[in-house]
Amino acid sequence: MDFFNLKIFFNSLIYSILGVVVFWVSFVVVDKFTPYELWKEIVEKKNQPLATVVAAMCLGIALVVAAAIHG
């Protein structure tokens, strides 16, 4: 019985890298559409409601990317 299949390993690696890239690009696009700088608002001004909304947005994007990759 083969426990380690290189084809499955490399496919998983490619899809995970593709998912991270799509997530990162979509986050940058959303960041550009907001009227203020997200990092400055969340980290420097400690805007907790904005951080919660951004976290929910990240989870939503991640779910869409995972569903698209999974099929």
Q: How confident is the model over 6-58, as pLDDT tens digits? A: 888 888 888 889 888 988 898 888 888 888 888 889 899 999 998 998 899 88
CA dihedral sign of residues 60, 63, 64, 66: positive
pTM over 0.85: no
Q: Is residue 21 part of a domain?
A: yes
Which range marks the domain in which residue 20 is found?
A: 6-70
Number of domains composing the chain: 1
Would 31 be classed as within a structural domain? yes
pLDDT at position 66? 84
Secondary structure class of 2 (helix, strand, coil): coil
Q: Tell whether 58 is covered by a domain.
A: yes
Does the residue 13 lie in any domain?
Answer: yes
The answer to whether residue 34 sits within a structural domain is yes
56: nearest Cα among 16, 32, 27, 29: 27
Average pLDDT over residues 58-62: 88
1 part of a folded domain: no
Rg, Å, the chain Cα set: 17
